[in-house]
């Protein structure tokens, strides 16, 4: 549900959200009734109520020997989001101005490797987000916010499986992409240009190469549908691939 995803971004677990929603529906109730409505055992419900009270989302009042809990109005969630936004903004400023320079100062002058390996859907999602983040830094003009891709036919249905809104986020950030598709197919998308290299339909290769200086990423499949990826952080390598891509692009 979108409410679980949204409140998750505010730091609430799915169970915390379930308890809060139950309280909204039920009004002032006992722990036993909350646990029954949310489908969570009483011990866990009690701990969740403590965390929700710390987040100022739940209050309680005594009624005889029992405690009755009730949810704060949903508008409190907006305040929680605003506080979290301010906290993140402050942390970002501190990270850029103080922490990042200090962290870079303790790194060796020459790293032993600039190659990083990733696996599974989570790894592919990281690579796709890295493409967006890196290209977005090219802020001179929208025309500079461009990356290049080689994409084979067999990998297409797996590529965005862990990040289905990738294209929407790319478009929202005004990022362009030129795609050389290896094999027919592929869907048209906004801010995207596509050219094709025909191959035999029996070609078993499944690969994706993204060129986004100073990096390039290579994604492939092993054991049928398990994705693995490598990011190479090298301006020299990325530039060489960019020149090769652009030369081929002009000839297709």
| Distances in whole angstroms, Cα of residue 232 to Cα of each of 44, 98, 104, 107 | 45, 27, 19, 18
Is 70 strand, coil or helix? Answer: strand
pLDDT mean over 161-179: 92
In the numeric block, which tokens belong to residue 224? Answer: 């049928």
* pLDDT tens per residue, range 9-61: 888 999 999 999 999 998 888 899 999 999 999 899 999 999 999 989 999 88
Does residue 137 carry a pLDDT above 60?
Answer: yes
Does residue 168 carry a pLDDT above 60?
Answer: yes
179 — pLDDT class (breaks 50, 70, 90)? very high
Query: Which domains, and CATH codes, for the chain?
Result: 2-71 (1.10.10.10), 115-251 (3.30.870)
182 — pLDDT class (breaks 50, 70, 90)? confident
pLDDT at site 170: 93
End-to-end CA distance of the chain: 45
Listed in order, strand segments (DSSP E) in the chain are 58-63, 66-71, 115-119, 146-152, 176-182, 192-197, 207-212, 215-222, 226-233
**Of all residues in the chain, what percent carry a pLDDT higher than 90?**
42
């Amino acid at each position: 549900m979108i409410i679980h995803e949204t409140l998750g971004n505010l730091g609430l677990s799915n169970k915390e959200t379930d308890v809060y929603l139950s309280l909204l529906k039920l009004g002032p109730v006992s722990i036993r009734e909350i646990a029954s409505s949310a489908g969570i055992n009483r011990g866990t419900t009690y701990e969740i109520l403590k965390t929700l009270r710390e987040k100022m989302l739940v209050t309680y009042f005594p009624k005889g020997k029992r405690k009755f809990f009730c949810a704060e109005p949903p508008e409190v969630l907006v305040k929680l989001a605003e506080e979290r936004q301010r906290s993140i903004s402050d942390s970002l400023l501190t990270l850029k101005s103080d922490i990042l320079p200090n962290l870079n100062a303790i790194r060796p002058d020459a790293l032993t490797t600039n190659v990083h390996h990733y696996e599974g859907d989570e790894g592919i999602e990281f690579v796709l987000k890295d493409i967006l983040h890196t290209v977005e830094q090219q802020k001179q003009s929208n025309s500079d916010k461009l990356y290049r891709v080689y994409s084979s036919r067999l990998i297409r249905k797996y590529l965005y499986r862990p990040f289905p809104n990738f294209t929407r986020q790319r478009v929202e950030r005004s990022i362009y992409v030129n795609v050389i598709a290896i094999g027919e197919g592929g869907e048209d998308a906004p801010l995207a240009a596509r050219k094709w290299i025909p191959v035999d339909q029996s070609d078993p290769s499944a690969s994706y190469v993204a060129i986004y200086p100073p990096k390039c990423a290579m994604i492939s499949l092993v054991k049928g549908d398990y994705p693995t990826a490598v990011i190479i952080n090298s301006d020299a390598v990325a530039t060489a691939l960019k020149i090769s891509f652009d030369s081929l692009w002009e000839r297709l």
